[in-house]
Chain A
Amino acid sequence: MQYKSIEILVGLFVSLCITALFFLALQVSNFSDLQDNGSYTVIAHFENVGGLKNKALVSMAGVPIGRVADISFDTDSYDALVKLRIDARYNKMPSDTSASILTSGLLGDKYIGLTPGGLDEFLQEGDTIELTQSALVLERLISQFLFNASDKDK
């Protein structure tokens, strides 16, 4: 085979494979989510995070506005310290916004839902969300229900 046609075939091969790589990056993965114009981090303390994981969704009114950046244990307050990375586009969150850990989907994936407050001041980088609601722990709920039922019987 002529060297020129070998070169053309190799060129086609490399271009097709690189297109496949771009397809994987843009269509299959969250690569396009990463190309934002920056973000800011706010902190929220929760009594119990349940099964919340790193990179879980942070949403407001059902619209994804960020992701969980880090979950750690606060040795001073003995509760969970969750860092939320919120897209810089959504920079007008009232400072009394509240955060709850909610459950989505059949398999019970945990995500954080934010509910806006009414103040005119907005959340800034490093601010803390004061109003939080922990994950629903099914065992605690059932035991409360059972104790309430047995109290009523008496």
Chain B
Amino acid sequence: MKLFQTIGHSSLKFLAKLGRSSLFLFSISTGLAYTLSRPNLLIKQLYSIGVLTFWLIAVSGLFVGMVLGLQGVYTLSTYGAESSLGIMVAASLVRELGPVVSALLFAGRAGSALTAEVGLMKATEQLSAMEMMAIDPLKYIIAPRFFAGFISLPLLAALFSAVGVLGGYLAGVELLNVDAGAYWSQMQSVIDFHDDIINGIIKSIIFAWLVSWIALFEGYDALPTSAGISRATTRTVVNSAFAILLFDFLLTALMYGES
């Protein structure tokens, strides 16, 4: 009996949270016009969410690309197919690693910062103070952060893939002497603009929506204590990672399932 009670309790709690977060998302969506009419709010958030995550994504992309280049040459040389290195590096980066790894890094760097910031605003009653002054915190605080995250992540994912391809070139062509012409031409013959690049961008747009939503909701819904904020920050990273990987599986099955 106790077991069923626990399952029932957790299910109801989960559904209640899903309902609250859906209402929260709906309220943010109505703040789009407000955010667009005050671009300075959006630009400040683009700085703290996008620009400050730039180096993390660029350096990670470079090293992931270099590792792919090295491992690719070691594996492909067994079959004498080093010339296919470009395909391997670009396909794995553009289709999967670019959107997924940049979203995971984004959740760790920007998502956790968003949760902590909004949670602390709630704990110090800044959000209630705004309501007292007839300023809707969902429009003034949350919506610009949400749309900044929504814009930043797809751009960062494109940067991650591009820097990764250059990293693969450095490791494969410059260090291990794979033919440079084969690296680029094989890549261009296989990577399709619509099927690979556009699908990768669609993936990162969906991840951006998920991570921004989870991070802001966890901050807004956090218990207004130091322990509550720390738990909410942890939940942001954990839930975002789960959501990204689950949606990656679903989207990959949808996008590449037919071919």
Contact = CB atoms under 8 A, between A and B. Distances in A.
Interface of A: 3, 6-7, 9-10, 12-14, 16-18, 20-21, 23-25, 27-34, 54-55, 57, 106-107
A14 B46 CA distance: 9
A13 B197 contact: no
A10 B51 contact: yes
B191 interface: yes
Contacts of A7: 43
Q: Does more than half of chain B's interface fall in helix, strand or loop, or is it mixed?
A: helix
Interface residues of B, number: 33
Question: What 8 A-B pairs come out closest when comparing CB atoms?
Answer: A17-B155, A20-B162, A31-B193, A21-B158, A29-B193, A20-B159, A29-B191, A13-B51
A3 B81 CA distance: 52
B94 A28 contact: yes
B72 interface: no
B131 interface: no
Interface of B: 40, 43-44, 46-47, 50-51, 54, 79-81, 84, 90, 94, 155-156, 158-159, 161-163, 165, 184, 187-189, 191-193, 196-197, 201, 259
Given A29-B193, A55-B192, A21 B50 contact: no
Contacts of A3: 40, 44
Contacts of A16: 54, 159
Nearest to A32: B188
A1 to B, nearest CB: 8
Contacts of B46: 10, 13-14
